[in-house]
Amino acid sequence: MAKSDQELPEGFRQLKTQVAGHTFEESNAEAVGLLQDSKAGCVLKPLGKPECGERELRFYESLAEAGASGDNDLLALLRGHVPRFYGPLKLVVNRRERTFLRLEDLTRSYAKPCVMDVKMGKRTWDPESSPNKRKVEEAKYVICKQKLGLCLPGFQVYLPKEEHTQETTILRHGKDYGKSLNVEGFKQTMALFFNASTSDSKSRRAGCELLLKEVLRQLQEILAWFQRQRLLHFYASSLLICYDYSRLADPPKPLINGYHQNDDDPATWVRVKMIDFAHVYPAEQGLPDENYMFGLQSLIEVVQSILHR
């Protein structure tokens, strides 16, 4: 079934900025990717296999309920680092009813959305994985996963076509590219994604610096949450890093007191959010999630090295 022949409900379309995960496939009518409801400003993620899908739905519902009675304040704090959840929705896609999670469309207002999916942790198999599943997971992204606790399933980025021009081109890479990377290649790819090597003009360099500082700020907030929490362990979960390339050449100007006006707040065009929660489990023996934090600290160090080089 060709992509153009996918039978989607009226008002919905395939999400063009999806860079990783299950997608619509020409040869498999059962394969369903992310959908976009542009009117509602939602992305719709199909639930995965029953046990995984139910686990992810329960996770989002637990976040929505957290803090309502004064309990689970840590979970309530996590909500700010996760796309907003608007509940489940049943839709008929390719003549079959499916359940979707309605999530915030993080790049809805972006003119030129740059998006990267970074999977976190040395270990990407969960406590219920079979020996074969563990073996399969351990064979993926071996170098970067073991040395950095990170792997790169996919990204898209806008890049200038030529120096000193406003014309751009889009570069997209998927999991095959990510699997080919060594540590140095991973770092170079991150610099490419942040346009750190293409920022030729003074204004674009300033925009790139602001972008990197804002990404660092959000990463460090997520790390601070993980350093406090002993509730959950996250396996095969990702961070989605998004920014609007069109803002690089026109960065917000700080006010005298160091703050930005609402429209200029870099958090409006730079977002780092945790995604993919099909393999979230109660923390083993009340221990911190060292696996996730190892990858997160590596990512912070990579971004810092780009900022200060």
What is the pLDDT, as a whole number, of residue 21?
67
What is the pLDDT, as a whole number, of residue 1?
40
Instruction: For residues 77 and 201, state if they share a domain.
Output: no
In the block, residue with structure tokens 């059962």: 30
Instruction: For residues 217 and 98, state if they share a domain.
Output: no
Instruction: For residues 23 and 168, state if they share a domain.
Output: no
What is the pLDDT, as a whole number, of residue 166?
75
Is the pLDDT at 81 greater than 90? The verdict is yes
Instruction: For residues 120 and 95, state if they share a domain.
Output: no
Tell whether 5 is covered by a domain: no
Tell whether 7 is covered by a domain: no
Tell whether 6 is covered by a domain: no
Instruction: For residues 44 and 64, state if they share a domain.
Output: yes
Instruction: For residues 129 and 75, state if they share a domain.
Output: no
pLDDT tens sequence across 225-251:
999 999 999 999 999 999 999 998 765
Is the pLDDT at 28 greater than 80? The verdict is no
Instruction: For residues 173 and 146, state if they share a domain.
Output: yes
Residue 274's CATH number: 3.30.470.160
Number of domains in the chain: 2
Last residue of a domain, one of 49, 84, 104: 104
Average pLDDT, the chain: 87
Query: Both ends of the chain: CA-CA distance in Å?
Result: 48
Instruction: For residues 173 and 36, state if they share a domain.
Output: no
Instruction: For residues 87 and 120, state if they share a domain.
Output: no
Tell whether 120 is covered by a domain: yes
What is the pLDDT, as a whole number, of residue 114?
97
pLDDT tens sequence across 84-108:
999 999 998 888 889 999 999 999 9
Q: What's the predicted TM-score (pTM) here?
A: 0.88
Last residue of a domain, one of 104, 139, 156: 104
pLDDT tens sequence across 117-133:
999 999 999 999 999 99
Tell whether 245 is covered by a domain: yes
Question: Over the Cα atoms of the chain, what is R_g?
Answer: 19
Last residue of a domain, one of 46, 77, 104: 104
What is the pLDDT, as a whole number, of residue 30?
59
Q: Which domain holds residue 54?
A: 12-104
How far apart CA 180 and CA 117 sit, in angstroms, is 16
Sign of CA dihedral 121, 72, 45, 218: negative
What is the pLDDT, as a whole number, of residue 9?
72
Instruction: For residues 142 and 219, state if they share a domain.
Output: yes
Tell whether 82 is covered by a domain: yes
pLDDT tens sequence across 245-267:
999 876 555 554 454 444 568 99
Tell whether 2 is covered by a domain: no
Instruction: For residues 174 and 44, state if they share a domain.
Output: no
How far apart CA 17 and CA 4 sit, in angstroms, is 17
Cα distances (Å, whole numbers) of residue 153 to 122, 194, 245, 293: 14, 17, 21, 19
- Please, which pLDDT band fits residue 286 given cuts at 50, 70 and 90? confident
Strand residues in 164-287 grouped as ranges (E):
168-173, 232-234, 238-244, 270-275, 280-282
Instruction: For residues 135 and 276, state if they share a domain.
Output: yes
Q: Is 44 exposed, middle or buried (0-12, 13-18, 19+ CB in 10 A)?
A: buried
Tell whether 166 is covered by a domain: yes
